[in-house]
Amino acid sequence: MRRALELAERGRGTASPNPLVGCVLVRDGVAVGEGFHRRAGEPHAEAEALRAAGEAAAGATAYVTLEPCDHHGRTPPCSRALVAAGVRRVVVALRDPDPRVRGRGLARLRDAGIDVQEGLLADEAEVQNEAFLTAQRLGRPFVTYKTAMTLDGKIAAATGHARWVSDAPSRERVHRIRDEVDAVAVGVGTVLHDDPRLTTRGGAGRTPVKIVFDRRARTPIDAALFDPDPTGAAARVRIVIGPDAPPERRAALHRAGADLVEVAPDPSGRPSVAEALARLHEAELRSLLLEGGGTLAWSFLAARAIDRAIWFVAPKLVGGAGPTPLGGEGVAAMDHAVRLSDVRVDRSGSDLVVTGRPRWPDPAPEEET
């Protein structure tokens, strides 16, 4: 199963909106076939492993990181392929929460007389497929909030100048993270002040969809994010706007090549994060890297829509009243603060990197302001 997890990892950045899946076929203690899912529309991991094993698949044990599918989608159902190949035993790490699967694949295997075991290395498989699983369970993309700040808590100088807070190794690391997600999101303030490209700088995967939260559709039509990605492909840009976005600005952004996503405002008057994420999920975006400023980050935090935080801390001091990673109203008391669990600290060049997962207090932060 560990080998199957290693294989599944090879699909990171390309398999979405499908899950990461690896499969190893073992017969008489020897691996006779293995495979992983590369991208949507291409063979699933089980089909790749069965093809590699050929007749040796008969009587073998299949180790699969996620429950085999039992429906016709872009490819045939894997559960039936395992039955047809004469596999004797199937060991899976996790059940697939997709309503089209959700135990049906395992039931078909058992009905065919195949010995099925579940739960081997389930925790590792859960972490590996956190984006797909979150999307299936919550109906929204898995959200990672990334920010870079100075040691005194600023994401820019008092003048707004922010190039660069973190050092070159940290910026390269962010490009690799972008290379693995479906979308990257910023607020219109970031676009107006920094004019970011939001690309992977030619990574191994594909440049993610660029999302701008921009209630009044103020994004300039000559913004760098509209530039073609390093492969020459046209930029994929979606602007989340509010109902009050002026018609002339909507038309201009549409002509520039942006897809407009109109969502209702939240109580603060900004586009609803929950509705925006639901719409992105409908567009088969399963993971999102949030790189916006403090106001947008607070909106996500208040909506409890941050699943992981990555904090780059640069050994720099700038002082003044520059912007901070989290703005908004803030919580009213320290015991309402959002704590991080599973905290990990490592180095990236001269920067410290703190990674963790929010543990939500009760009630939500926005209810205490």
Active-site residue set: 46
The residues, any chain, with a CB within 8 Å of residue 282's CB and separated by 6 or more, are none
Give me the helices (H) in 43-146, please. 45-53, 78-85, 104-111, 122-128, 130-138
The residues, any chain, with a CB within 8 Å of residue 112's CB and separated by 6 or more, are 83
User: How far apart are alpha carbons 342 and 340 in whole angstroms?
Assistant: 7
User: How far apart are alpha carbons 201 and 65 in whole angstroms?
Assistant: 31
Phi, psi of 283 (to 5 degrees): -85, 15
Cβ atoms of residues 69 and 82 within 8 Å: no
- How many other C-beta atoms are found inside a 10 Å radius of the C-beta of residue 73? 13
Task: For residue 242, give both structure tokens.
Answer: 């509010």
Query: What separation in angstroms does the CA of 36 have from each of 44, 49, 324, 350?
Result: 7, 8, 42, 36
Taking the CA atoms of the chain, what radius of gyration do you get in angstroms? 23
In 221-350, DSSP assigns E strands to: 237-241, 259-262, 287-290, 308-314, 339-348
